[in-house]
């Protein structure tokens, strides 16, 4: 049957009106709240900091990011509200060569070079924790190996770095795009990835507290499922 021969309003039976009622109920009371909830996740409020994307050698996939717990598991935390978890895709479009891999190097992002996201000063650099085999994680040292960089107006935390890979230390002045470490799997992490978040400068007493602010890269606010093509 050709589409043009179909009635615009097909005949309805009582049962279909009933199911229409159920569908309307679901649409109004289940989907509509979700629909209004998630779009809010694609924008931020308050201050933000503009940074250079800190990875350059491939296709990166935002596994967590945005302003909603639906898009970003960090969103419930005031400091990490706008944090991003960044993974990397291989040529097949997957994050690793197999699902239950026994090798960290089969994760595409493992040992990827991390570049400074801004011109700034390193205020903390930790490089002592081991890279763990998934699904093992370190719940005592959440960030694992990390670098805290004081950018303009913001302190930026880059976490889960590879042990022994840091090439900067406390007090170093660094430039945007300068190689500073490699991606690892230290701390409280389910697989190798880069965690990054920013807080308003000089708020907080450790790398994991303070007043979280949004990050933009090239004025883009990245959210879950976004792809970044590194150069």
Closest distance to Zn ion from the beta carbon of 94 (Å): 20
13 or 140: CB nearest Zn ion: 140
User: How many of the chain's residues bind Zn ion (CB under 5 A)?
Assistant: 2
Question: Where in 80-139 is the site for Zn ion (CB under 5 A)?
Answer: 85
By the rule CB under 5 A, 195 interacts with Zn ion: yes
48-87 mask for Zn ion (x: CB under 5 A)? -------------------------------------x--
Sole window of 18-26, 102-110, 132-140, 192-200 interacting with Zn ion (rule: CB under 5 A): 192-200
95 or 195: CB nearest Zn ion: 195
By the rule CB under 5 A, 191 interacts with Zn ion: no
Closest distance to Zn ion from the beta carbon of 74 (Å): 6
By the rule CB under 5 A, 211 interacts with Zn ion: no
Sole window of 11-19, 145-153, 194-202, 222-230 interacting with Zn ion (rule: CB under 5 A): 194-202
83 or 166: CB nearest Zn ion: 83
Closest distance to Zn ion from the beta carbon of 81 (Å): 12
Tokens, residue 209: 């507290």
Residue whose pair of structure tokens reads 């389910």 in the numeric block: 190
Question: Euclidean distance between the first and final Cα of the chain, in Å?
Answer: 51
Tokens, residue 21: 């009622």
Closest distance to Zn ion from the beta carbon of 140 (Å): 16
195 or 224: CB nearest Zn ion: 195
Sole window of 44-52, 88-96, 190-198, 210-218 interacting with Zn ion (rule: CB under 5 A): 190-198
Q: What angle do CA 156, 197, 60 make, to 5 degrees?
A: 110
Which residue number has the CB closest to Zn ion?
195
Query: In the 3-class helix/strand/coil scheme, how is the chain assigned residue by residue?
Result: CCHHHCCCCCCCCHHHHHHHHHHHHHHHHHHHHHHHHCHHHHCCCCCEEEECCCCCCCEEEEEECCCCCCCCHHHHCCCCCCCEEEEEECCCCCCECCCCCCCHHHECCCCCEEECCCCEEEEEEECCCCCCCCCCCCCCCCCCEEEEEEECCEEEEEEEECCCCCCCCCCCEECCCCEEEEECCCCCCCCCCEEEEEEECCCCCCCCCCCEEEEEECCECCCCCCEEECC
Instruction: Give the number of other Cβ atoms within 10 Å of residue 96's Cβ.
Output: 23
88 or 195: CB nearest Zn ion: 195
Residues within the interface to Zn ion (CB under 5 A): 85, 195
């Amino acid at each position: 049957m050709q589409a043009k021969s179909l009635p615009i309003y097909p005949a309805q039976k009582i049962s279909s009106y009933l199911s229409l009622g159920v569908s309307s109920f679901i649409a109004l009371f289940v989907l509509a709240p979700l629909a209004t909830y998630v779009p809010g996740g694609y924008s931020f409020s308050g201050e933000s900091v503009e940074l250079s994307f800190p990875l350059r050698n491939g296709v990166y996939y935002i596994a967590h990011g945005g302003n909603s717990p639906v898009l970003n598991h960090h969103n419930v935390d005031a400091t990490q509200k706008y944090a991003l978890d960044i993974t990397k895709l291989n040529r097949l479009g997957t994050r690793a060569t197999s699902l239950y891999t026994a090798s960290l190097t089969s994760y595409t992002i493992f040992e990827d070079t991390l570049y400074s996201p801004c011109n700034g000063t390193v205020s903390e650099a930790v490089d002592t924790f081991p890279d763990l085999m998934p699904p093992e994680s370190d719940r005592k040292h959440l960030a694992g190996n990390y670098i805290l960089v004081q950018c303009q107006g913001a302190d930026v935390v880059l976490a889960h770095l590879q042990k022994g890979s840091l090439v900067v230390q406390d007090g170093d002045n660094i430039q945007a795009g300068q190689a500073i470490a490699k991606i690892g799997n230290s701390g409280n992490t389910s697989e190798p990835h880069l965690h990054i978040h920013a807080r308003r400068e000089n708020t907080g007493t450790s790398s994991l507290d303070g007043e979280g602010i949004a990050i933009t890269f090239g004025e883009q606010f990245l959210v879950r499922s976004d792809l970044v093509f590194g150069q």
